[in-house]
């Protein structure tokens, strides 16, 4: 359909919670196609609707590598229904061009969502895989949460943001997840 402009960190709408999709209409299917087109054009792994200025609970992911065929996955109204383990790994985001920092994530997640035809599915991603981390990252966008809110070291993250002329982290937005912290301290 169309490659859309990706909103950059600092845009107010990236911090707004998204609305549930009540019907997987032609409009939503076009949104999904725009998300995929934009994600592939930007060489991204995932993209959430709020990143293109549309506050609906929709995101897309493709974790295929260069030598694998494309494998687009669509998540409409996703809910993470199970999470366990913990990992610290480097993440970036299309809304933060070229900026990467270490973040805290669950190692294993199970998500329930609908596909682009409105069919429900459950998907499990394990072992701190790129898919497990991408699901959490994109799902956060739907709640107005950004990857830097999960930073492992606020000062390193701020240095990285400054290098790319991006605003610093808002310390009030840093998420402290006791379960995740306990897992990481084991």
pLDDT, tens digit (0-9, with 9 covering 90-100), for 9-49: 999 999 999 999 999 999 999 999 999 999 999 999 999 99
What percent of the chain clears pLDDT 90, i.e. is strictly above it?
Answer: 96
Q: Mean pLDDT for the chain?
A: 96
pTM comes to: 0.96
> In whole angstroms, how far apart are CA 90 and each of 5, 47, 57, 134?
24, 17, 25, 11
What is the pLDDT averaged over residues 150-163? 96
CB neighbour class for 142 (10 Å; exposed up to 12, middle 13-18, buried from 19): buried
**DSSP code for 148:** G
pLDDT the model gives residue 67:
86
Instruction: Encode pLDDT of 90-129 as tens digits.
Output: 999 999 999 999 999 999 999 999 999 999 999 999 999 9
**Angle 17-22-23 from CA coordinates, rounded to 5°:** 130
Q: Is the dihedral of CA 72, 160, 5, 140 positive or negative?
A: positive
Average pLDDT of the residues in 74-94: 97
**CA–CA distance, 171 with 66 (Å, rounded to integer):** 37
Q: Where does the pLDDT of residue 185 fall: very low under 50, low under 70, confident under 90, or very high at 90 and above?
A: confident
* Assigned architecture for domain 12-184: Alpha-Beta Complex (3.90)
CA of residue 100 relative to chain centroid, distance = 14
Catalytically annotated residues: 138
Domain ranges of the chain: 12-184
């Amino acid at each position: 359909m169309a490659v859309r402009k990706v909103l950059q960190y600092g845009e107010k709408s990236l911090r707004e919670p998204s609305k549930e999709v009540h019907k997987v209409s032609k409009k939503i299917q076009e949104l999904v196609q725009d998300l995929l087109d934009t994600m592939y054009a930007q060489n991204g792994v995932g993209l959430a609707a709020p990143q293109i200025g549309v506050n609906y609970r929709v995101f897309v992911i493709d974790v295929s590598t260069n030598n694998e065929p494309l494998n687009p996955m669509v998540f409409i109204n996703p809910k993470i229904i199970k999470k366990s383990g913990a990992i610290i790994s480097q993440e970036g985001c299309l809304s933060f061009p070229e900026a990467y920092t270490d973040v805290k994530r669950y190692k294993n997640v199970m998500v329930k969502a609908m596909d682009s035809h409105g069919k429900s599915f459950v998907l499990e991603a394990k072992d701190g895989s790129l898919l497990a981390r991408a699901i959490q990252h994109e799902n956060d966008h739907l709640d107005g949460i950004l990857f830097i809110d999960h930073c492992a070291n606020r000062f390193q993250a701020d240095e990285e943001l400054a290098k790319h002329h991006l605003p610093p982290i808002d310390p009030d937005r840093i998420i402290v997840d006791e379960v995740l912290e306990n897992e990481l301290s084991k």
